[in-house]
Amino acid sequence: MQIGYVGLGGMGHAMASNLIEKGHTLRVWNRSPAKAADLVAKGATLVDHPGQAVASDGIVFTMVADDAALDQVTGGPDGIAAKLGPGGIHVSMSTVSPETTRRLAALHAERGAAFIAAPVFGRPTAAAAAMLFILCAGAEATRAKVIPLLETMGQRVFPLGDDPVAASIVKLGGNFMIMGVIEAMAEAATLCEKYGVARKDMIDVMTQSIFATPLHVNYGKLIAAHDYANPGFKLSLGFKDANLVLAAADRARVPMPLASMMHDRFLAAMAKERGELDWTAAALNVAEDAGLR
């Protein structure tokens, strides 16, 4: 199948590569064209504008940083919406607000095209290994066309009904839960450190007993060692997602005090120039509050 792929960061590049390896022909666009070099060597075609990645009745995937970036590649005369004709499908794999998802779904519907929200859980290493967990929401017939492609990029796809907003809000809920895990592990490790127990020992006990999940194991290693220099997910993006969670909660009248606290935790880390570190670097603020760093 000829497919468009827009956004070749750490996640998008890995997913596009997996599609090529499964035999699909890709037209790709990225703000920094150099990131597409190895994909071009594998047979992909690099285009000059997002809309050029689109076949009028084909499928185009986007994996970009935030709502503004998604709006930018979708709208305008050189954007996806202008080129994607009746029968075309835009699959958005970014973590964005429910409002952006709803608005873009309506924009495509006006032109006879379809919109699928398919955000993912997993870091770049999981994307490279095609081990992502992928959410998928949109019209049933459209989902049926898209899911086989998503299955080449992940270990499991979770259909969430006809409304694309469902995938966006579940993704935000999941990222909020990860924020809570980061904070809980950081606080527990810091408490034990204050009592003379090595952070690594504490984390090893927890992740080899009652919290033996991939999330706790992988994040626990980073928090135990204060190893945040090679981000799988940047702290600045965690801050973005905390804002999205709080905005969605405000609209739905859902108090989320932990989300408010994590927003402030990330904000404090951003003020200390930690936005480019892994988002588990919020644990540094916990240690500093306890007088350890």
What tens digit of pLDDT does each residue of 32-61 get? 999 999 999 999 999 999 999 998 889 999
The CATH number of the domain covering residues in 169-289: 1.10.1040.10
CA separation for the pair 12, 30 (Å, rounded): 10
Give the active site residue among 171, 200, 234, 240. 171
| pLDDT greater than 90 at residue 253 | yes
The helix-helix angle for 235-252 and 257-271 (nearest 10°) equals 150
What are the residue ranges of helices labelled H in 195-256? 199-207, 214-225, 235-252
Q: Residue 143: what residue type? A: R
Known catalytic membership, residue 171: yes
- The CATH T-level fold of domain 2-162 is Rossmann fold (3.40.50)
Report domain extents, the chain: 2-162, 169-289
Residue 126 makes CB contacts below 8 A (sequence gap 6+) with 132
> What's the confidence (pLDDT) of residue 56?
83
Helix (H) or strand (E) holding 102: helix 98-110
Going by C-alpha positions, the residue among 281, 147, 187, 276 that lies closest to residue 225 is 281
Residue 24 makes CB contacts below 8 A (sequence gap 6+) with 1, 2, 3, 149
CB 238 within 8 A of CB 176: no
Q: Cα dist. 24→127, 136, 165, 210 in Å? A: 17, 20, 28, 42
> What's the confidence (pLDDT) of residue 85?
87
CB 100 within 8 A of CB 94: no
Tell me whether the CATH fold assigned to 2-162 matches the one assigned to 169-289. Answer: no
For the entire predicted model, the pTM comes to 0.96
State mean pLDDT over 207-212: 98
pLDDT tens digits, 57-116:
899 999 999 999 999 999 999 999 999 989 999 999 999 999 999 999 999 999 999 999
- 26 forms beta bridges with 3
CA separation for the pair 232, 121 (Å, rounded): 12
